[in-house]
Amino acid sequence: MRIIHCAPFNIVTKIGGTLYANPVKISQGLLENNHFVHNFDYRDTARYYSFFKNKKGGVNKMNQLFLECVEAINPELIIFGHAELIAEETFYTLKRKNIKLILWYNDMIIEEHLKKVGHLFDMVLITGAGQILQEVKTFNPNAFFLPNPVNHNVERHQGFTKLQTHDLLFSGRKDNERTKFIQLIQENLRTLDIKFIGQTHDQTVIGEPYFQLIADSKVCLNHSRDAYRYNKWYTSDRLMHILGNGSFCLSRTIIDGEDFFEDKLVYYDDFEDMRLKTLYYLENTQERIQKTQWLHKRVHTLFNTKSISGYIIHLLEQNHKELCQYLWWEK
């Protein structure tokens, strides 16, 4: 199939993020399934054509160039990631051409633009189920869960085979919600070798150095914001970065996460619970490594890029026979 994937690929901005960005992984999976894929970075294109190098200034030119790209490639399918800068009229133009349109979305806050144009897609995919998926279904009944993917050439480390340096890794922005939690870590776990990344712009680590830090950490926290915790199966793609690179993860609760991870993924409810479990698994190395090995194999088996992209195509084709192989598919 000839496909255009229109998404934020971070080709110019956040360059190192292209290593593990979901748009890159989805396109990689489509290639692994023998499709032709042309990547179109709508955000960076809009920035390039803006006098002030902001996204909004170049929106009109970007939409024009995107439609020219469509004319030149003549795709059978266009997959959009977020697509908040794509004009409503652009979507109508594509519908008149009878091109299949898919949108994937990995935020847990449904923006007004999505509510306005969501009905125009043949299918909408979102990285959460339950309540958030039901909300999407109110404007597009063909809405489905999309897992965050891993790739063996991206998440290529096996941290459990290393003599890891850091005891604990916390990755995430230091916003109002996380500030207290970070402070508690600093005050109450002083005896540990703790690495903080991503709290400020200066602390940002991306690309391979980010993955190396994960692989070099005995315990990595997956600390999602409160607002994102109440949707079935939802988690940040950070979880796949940790498990995919073979490090032990302590995670905030993932609703029905046992559907995929059984009892191997360890959750914490609050700071004290996290503290006690961190100390326990640092002391019990064999148990920590056994869980980590199982989860590493699990995510690379269930959520690899070829499987996830195959799932997208099977949904489009309504191939129920093939869809039955995916644990997360719900009719």
Q: pLDDT by residue (tens digit) across 265-290? A: 999 999 999 999 999 999 999 999 99
Higher pLDDT, 99 or 225: 99
107 has a pLDDT exceeding 80 = no
> CA–CA separation, 242 vs 248, rounded Å?
7
> CA–CA separation, 264 vs 261, rounded Å?
6
> CA–CA separation, 127 vs 133, rounded Å?
9
- Give, for 37, the enclosing helix (H) or strand (E): strand 36-40
Please report, for residues 214, 222, 234, the alpha-carbon distance to residue 129 in angstroms, rounded to integers and kept in the order given.
27, 19, 7
Which domains does the chain carry?
2-149+304-323 (3.40.50.2000), 159-302 (3.40.50.2000)
Report pTM.
0.96
- Give, for 273, the enclosing helix (H) or strand (E): helix 271-283
- Which of 53-67, 246-260, 283-297 shows the lowest per-residue confidence on average (mean pLDDT)? 53-67
Q: What is the pLDDT, as a whole number, of residue 176?
A: 80
> CA–CA separation, 71 vs 85, rounded Å?
19
Residues 201/207/208/209 CA torsion (nearest 10 deg):
0
Q: pLDDT by residue (tens digit) across 9-28? A: 987 877 778 889 999 999 99
- Tell me what the mean pLDDT of segment 196-219 comes to: 92
* CB of 291 closer than 8 Å to CB of 316: no
Q: Report the half-sphere exposure of 103 (CA within 13 A, side-chain side).
A: 23
The DSSP string of 174-241 is: --HHHHHHHHHHHHH-TTS-EEEESSSGGG---HHHHHHHHHTEEEEEE---GGGTTSTT---THHHH
| Coil/strand/helix, residue 69 | helix
For the chain, give the mean pLDDT: 94
% of the chain at pLDDT higher than 70: 99
Q: What is the pLDDT, as a whole number, of residue 177?
A: 81
229 has a pLDDT exceeding 80 = no
Instruction: Output the six-digit token pair for 126.
Output: 């979102």
> CA–CA separation, 24 vs 228, rounded Å?
23
Instruction: Output the six-digit token pair for 156.
Output: 């290529």
70 has a pLDDT exceeding 80 = yes
Q: What is the pLDDT, as a whole number, of residue 12?
A: 80
pLDDT confidence bin for 202, thresholds 50/70/90: confident
pLDDT confidence bin for 199, thresholds 50/70/90: confident
> For residue 279, what are the contacts with CB-CB under 8 A and spacing of at least 6?
none
Q: What is the pLDDT, as a whole number, of residue 15?
A: 75
- Tell me what the mean pLDDT of segment 134-160 comes to: 97
Q: pLDDT by residue (tens digit) across 84-105? A: 999 999 999 999 999 999 999 9
Q: What is the pLDDT, as a whole number, of residue 170?
A: 97
